[in-house]
Amino acid sequence: MILFIKKNIFVFNIAKNANSSIKNAISNSGNQYADVITRFNYEPLIKLDGGNRRMRPSKLHFGNLSWIELERHFPTAFKKLSGYESFVIIRDPMERFISACCQHILHVNKGSIASLSDLDVERTIYNVIEHLNAHGDNCEELTVFKRQTDYVYNENKNVKTNNLFLIENITEFYEQLLVKTGCKASHHEIINQNHIQNRFYEWTKGYRLSRLLPAPLKQRAKDLLVAHYGLKNKHRSTFSLPIVEDFVREYYSDDLACFTELKLKNDHDRDVVPGYHTIS
């Protein structure tokens, strides 16, 4: 979460929705009002909630708090932020789930993923699906698998976030945020780190790493390359299994509806203000 308290503006950080790219761009834009809340740096949020440190939950990732979690655990901050202008990036739920699974697989296997088989990946995905179906609504620590609409609506399904952008329109999001906050842009557009990693992977995968690196670094390099880009492509057929698609359609049904509506509005309004929409 990125707070612009003096401007009454904040940006929700949804895991797997270009968080690093957004935070890096804002951090480099010279805005003295921005407080970037991370997992361990929750001081601005505590101050906003009245300084009650006893309200700190043990398993929350403070940088990725949603409306629902704010309402449950930080009611004073929730009330204040409800009066702020808010921004959020929305991503295709299927692509986001695949990305979240890749990150989870990387974490579970402690980075050693180059030698994983389709069966290994399939088992991990099944475990994720089983766990989310059983406990998803009460597992606040599963940051990468949270529903995106938790950042749009509160528990009563009332719209709380009024500025929604598709991830492919992240540059328009950045421009609107600069206007609203008075930031000075350090870049003309947000640099998508994943695109840089993808290009690096494409450049290196055609070379024999054994010729470029000493023996101790070979496996580590392969793991890093697969982690940054190759995992979802190497196992694309596994991620496309009917059980995965059925799960996303059911579990993330609200996300799909929100994404589809926003995409339709974006296509319709493209000639007016590309990428920028206010939900009423």
Cα 134 from Cα 145, distance rounded (Å) = 13
pTM of the model: 0.78
What percent of the chain has a predicted confidence (pLDDT) above 90?
26
| pLDDT in the model for residue 29 | 59
C-alpha dihedral sign at 112, 117, 123, 128: positive
Edge-first strand listing for the sheet containing 85-90? 34-36, 2-4, 9-11, 85-90, 163-166, 277-278
What does the block give as tokens for 74?
A: 């930080």
The mean-pLDDT minimum among 68-77, 119-128, 176-185 falls in: 176-185
**Are 85 and 180 within 8 A, CB to CB?**
yes
Q: What are phi and psi of 164, to 5 degrees?
A: -115, 135
> Which is nearest to 105 in space by CA: 234, 212, 252, 256?
234
**Torsion angle, alpha carbons of 204, 205, 211, 214, to 10:** 80
The pLDDT tens digits for 144-183 are 899 999 999 888 888 888 899 999 898 888 888 888 888 7
The pLDDT tens digits for 179-197 are 888 876 555 455 555 554 5
Q: Amino acid identity, residue 57?
A: P
Cα 111 from Cα 161, distance rounded (Å) = 36
